[in-house]
Amino acid sequence: MNILVVDDDIPSAKLTSYVLEEAGYRVLRAHDATSIMQMIEQHNPDLILLDIMMPKIDGFDVCRQIRRSSEVPIIFLSARSQLQDRVMGLQIGGDDYLVKPYEPSELLARVEAVLRRRNADVLNTSTRLSQGDITLDPVEHKVIFTDGRTVELTPLEFRLLYYLMKNAGRILNVSQILSKVWGYDYEGESNLVAVYIRRLRTKIEENPNNPRHVITVRNLGYKFEP
């Protein structure tokens, strides 16, 4: 597995690289944003660890640029711990967000979980799933509506919606969703699910502020209504 570490702090990048290499990963490093797209094209990394605070172009802009042409998994690895930064990172296409300083064991667990999701079959299915006026196409990661409209989803958005639709009418709590869709157990509060639920609603709901498919069940979790 090739992992691209993007960090202008060279000692930090070396430490991260050492942790990953000791775990058996092949590590590529970039210390500024100018060469990232070329490295992605040349080396086709399986995962990118992306710092936010870099000169000239910050990590958020780099992520947006990557997402225009690639779905390579991205984990933000940053000293910025504010909630708005973590939410922003997920909203623009990041797969996870880990705050520095980190425990090496947690970094490896996050990396393994993201790579496991990337390489796993989408919830063990390769067939279309239909509920009400929505059909999911797992080949093209599209939502197909009965009126002919289509909406493209990212792989993670697709996994989340598929899991909800597979369990239509059933309330799924955050821990269940994180375990099945993200691939790891999480103790405590997490905004990951809420962020991606909002993203789904903006794509599939006629009125995202008053959804009729992806429903929040207060203090319990979420469910899909056909």
- Domains of the chain by range and CATH? 2-119 (3.40.50.2300), 122-224 (1.10.10.10)
* pTM of the full structure: 0.61
Per-position pLDDT tens, the chain of length 226: 899 999 989 999 999 999 999 998 999 998 877 778 888 888 889 899 999 988 888 899 999 998 887 878 999 999 998 989 999 999 898 999 999 999 999 999 999 888 877 665 445 555 788 999 999 988 888 999 999 999 999 888 888 999 999 888 888 888 888 877 876 655 555 688 999 999 999 999 999 999 999 999 988 899 999 8
- Joined tokens for residue 162: 């598929």
Sign of CA dihedral 50, 52, 54, 55: positive
